[in-house]
């Protein structure tokens, strides 16, 4: 059965939800679910009223199928936000369509940058060469933040083992007192992911077999050699480690976060 057509993004701001402050809810949720499994955290995130209106953000990258499958088992109608930067590998676009159909996801929303902003800031598609942070902000961060306006919380696939900026990741994060980030796979290892894929017979991203354990935009992603950090191929030979906007002590920070 083919999934329903991709729906337009609902960017209606959350209002009148009656939820307590984000910081209080994050502390309570982490205390309540600290020792639960990833599947339990996913289930509770979808049903706990303290989480609020929830979406799942997916890059349809190397490990995305685990989180997408785990969510689809619980509720295949969950909104899935997929950011098409228009610089992705062709394999990623094909994989997105394959997983959408395979998992019978009914509410995949393709998010793109404002074409007027792209024409003004990156008319030749070369911004990533001189200012990768600005390119990520234009094509990924700003479109995602706009799409998330209608949500109290969003599910990510971030994990502690992915790098020093994620080493202390909790299941629930406070995103600048605006909304909650839910990280069901925070404590998982690469072995856990491989086992889950094998046990559930899930298809791998085609670029993984070609040496891409972490996959972003085509111009800024290179293969990783044996023994290198899995994210070494992202923005290679730069200090950049993350693509989006992060909140530190309630303040917006563009670009990578220094290790504490």
Catalytic residues: 243
Per-residue pLDDT, 158: 87
What is the pTM (predicted TM-score) of this model?
0.82
Domain that holds residue 86: 22-254
- What total of structural domains would you count in the chain? 1
In a domain, 11, yes or no: no
In a domain, 1, yes or no: no
pLDDT (tens digit, 9 = 90+) per residue, 25-62? Answer: 999 999 999 889 999 999 999 999 989 999 999 999 99
How far is 246 from 249, CA to CA, in rounded Å?
A: 10
In a domain, 156, yes or no: yes
In a domain, 62, yes or no: yes
In a domain, 48, yes or no: yes
In a domain, 249, yes or no: yes
Per-residue pLDDT, 217: 92
In a domain, 260, yes or no: no
CATH value at residue 35: 3.40.50.620
In a domain, 10, yes or no: no
Which residues, 6+ apart, have CB-to-CB distance to 250 below 8 Å? 176, 177
pLDDT (tens digit, 9 = 90+) per residue, 178-202? Answer: 999 999 999 898 899 999 999 999 9
Residues of the chain falling short of pLDDT 70: 1-17, 161-168, 237, 239-260
Which residues, 6+ apart, have CB-to-CB distance to 97 below 8 Å? none
Question: Per residue, what are the HEC states of the chain?
Answer: CCCCCCCCCCCCCCCCCCCCCHHHHHHHHHHHHCCCCHHHHHHHHHHCCCCCCEEEEECCCCCHHHHHHHHHHHCCCCCEEEECCCCECHHHHHHHHHHHHHCCCCCEEEECCCHHHHHHHCCCCCHHHHCHHHHHHHHHHHHHHHHHHHCCEEECCCCHHHCHHHCCCCCEEEECCCEEEECCCCCCCHHHHHHHHHHCCCCCCCCHHHCCCCCCEHHHECCCCCCCCCCCCECCCCCCCCCCEEEECCEEEECCCCCC
């Amino acid at each position: 059965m083919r999934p329903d057509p991709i729906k337009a993004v609902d960017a209606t701001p959350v209002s009148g939800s009656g939820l307590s402050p984000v910081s209080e809810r994050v502390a309570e949720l982490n205390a309540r679910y600290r020792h639960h499994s990833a599947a339990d955290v996913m289930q509770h995130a979808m049903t706990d009223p303290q989480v609020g209106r929830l979406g799942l953000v997916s890059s349809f990258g190397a490990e995305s199928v685990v989180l997408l499958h785990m969510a689809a088992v619980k509720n295949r109608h969950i909104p899935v936000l997929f950011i098409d930067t228009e610089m992705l590998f062709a394999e990623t676009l094909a994989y997105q369509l394959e997983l959408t159909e395979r998992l019978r996801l009914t509410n995949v929303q393709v998010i793109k940058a404002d074409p007027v902003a792209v024409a003004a800031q990156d008319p030749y598609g070369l911004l990533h060469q001189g200012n990768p942070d600005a390119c990520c902000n234009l094509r990924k961060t700003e479109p995602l933040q706009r799409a998330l306006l209608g949500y109290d919380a969003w599910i990510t696939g971030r994990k502690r083992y992915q790098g020093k900026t994620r080493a202390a990741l909790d299941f629930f994060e406070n995103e600048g007192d605006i909304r909650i980030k839910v990280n069901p796979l925070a404590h998982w290892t690469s072995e856990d992911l491989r086992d889950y894929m094998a046990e559930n017979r899930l298809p791998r991203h085609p670029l993984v077999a070609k040496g891409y354990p972490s996959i972003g935009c085509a111009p800024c992603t290179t293969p990783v050699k044996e023994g290198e950090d899995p994210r070494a191929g992202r923005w290679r030979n730069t200090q950049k480690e993350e693509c989006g906007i992060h909140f530190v002590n309630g303040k917006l920070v563009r670009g990578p976060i220094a290790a504490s």
